Structure 1
Amino acid sequence: MTGGEAASPSLSYSSSPFNAMSDNKEYKLVVLGSGGVGKSALTIRLVTDNFLEDYDPTIEDSYRKQTTIDNSPALLDILDTAGQEEYTSMQDQWMREGKGFLLVYSVTSRSSFDDIAAFKDKILRAKDVDNVPIVLVGNKCDLEAQRQVAANEGKELARQWGCAFMETSAKERILNEECFYQVVREIRKAERPVRVERPQPTQKPPKKSGFKCTIL
């Protein structure tokens, strides 16, 4: 995949979710997954281009980035969430407010992959819908020697869900921006008006002439 064309970003940070609206189209993205899979590292790499080396459990952090995706301006309002069980009630609120979701597991953690389907189910319940813009993300793909989840397993799960999938590395900047940009593309696709084809009127056969020929 090729990433969206990005302009020089305008960055800001807030400790509370979903800041004030901008003149540009705003996209509220929520990053979900178990603790320690690299959600904050992915987000901070995108917004500040710094790599978060040490794991510091997040409760709730909100970031904004002004960029351009596929030649259209986009203001990303990104909520980096807690993966711990004790924040389940807060997760419901985040899920209701988000428009698109990155579901992140670590390729070095089988349990984080096994848990990821539960996050998707929670989103659908919280929003009371059958489908929602999602990108499945297998993070830490640079740690190949520690891999516990094969790439094909992620691809197969994404195929079952009907969503995009990519393996990323915040440390090595592998598809780091692209996973966020792809969520925006999925939101745009979902918001695109559906064209309803009107059935063409059935053409009636031409009427026969009322005149009859008489052969003498």
Structure 2
Amino acid sequence: MREQYMRAGHGFLLVYAINDRQSFNEVGKLHTQILRVKDRDDFPIVLVGNKADLETQRQVPRSEAAAFCSSRHIAYFEASAKLRLNVDEAFEQLVRAIRKYQEQELPPSPPTPPRKKTGNGGCPCLLL
């Protein structure tokens, strides 16, 4: 079922808890699985370290998460749902990443051919 969601997704927000090492370890597996399912080397993904309000219980250093994201060219936010810190910003960044990706993936539109002048005053009529 997870792969079906991955195939249909246009981008992904991967969330782990900064106070839970195991949740961060799963992020790497999910990232790899998304790229495999999408058959891509790159895809719109934003990583969010949640529970930023629990700084004293942190198990995943900010520098480690940032290095993970830097090596994979994905955006990183630390957020707190409790404090509403960076929640909207993470979603907005994901939307920007999706739009940028779609612009790069879509082939450019072919140029519109110039309209031919007709001898009937410019009326584009077809006579049968």
TM-score, L = length of structure 1: 0.47
Matched, 1:138 2:49: yes
Q: Which amino acid aligns with 2:33?
A: K
Q: CA deviation at 1:122?
A: 0.9
**Structure 1 residues 161, 193: CA separation in 2 closer, same or farther (over 3 Å shift)?**
closer
Match runs of 1:1-216 below 5 Å: 90-193=1-104
Q: Which runs of 5+ in 1 are unaligned?
A: 1-89, 197-216
Q: CA deviation at 1:126?
A: 1.1
Q: Which runs of 5+ in 2 are unaligned?
A: 109-128
Q: CA deviation at 1:193?
A: 4.4
* Local SS of the residue matching 1:148: coil
Distance 1:119 1:193 in 2: 24
Distance 2:15 2:69 in 1: 12
Q: CA deviation at 1:139?
A: 0.4
CA distances 1:54-86 after superposition (whole Å, capped 9, x unpaired): xxxxxxxxxxxxxxxxxxxxxxxxxxxxxxxxx
* Local SS of the residue matching 1:96: helix
CA distances 1:171-202 after superposition (whole Å, capped 9, x unpaired): 00000111111000001111224899xxxxxx
**Structure 1 residues 149, 193: CA separation in 2 closer, same or farther (over 3 Å shift)?**
closer
Identity %: 47
* Local SS of the residue matching 2:41: coil
Partner of 1:209: none
Q: CA deviation at 1:136?
A: 0.8
Deviation beyond 3 Å, 4+ runs, structure 1: 193-196
* Local SS of the residue matching 1:108: coil
* Local SS of the residue matching 2:52: coil
TM-score, L = length of structure 2: 0.79
Distance 2:47 2:25 in 1: 13
Partner of 2:113: none
Q: CA deviation at 1:163?
A: 0.9
Partner of 1:27: none
Q: Which amino acid aligns with 2:29?
A: A
* Local SS of the residue matching 2:85: coil
Q: CA deviation at 1:130?
A: 1.3
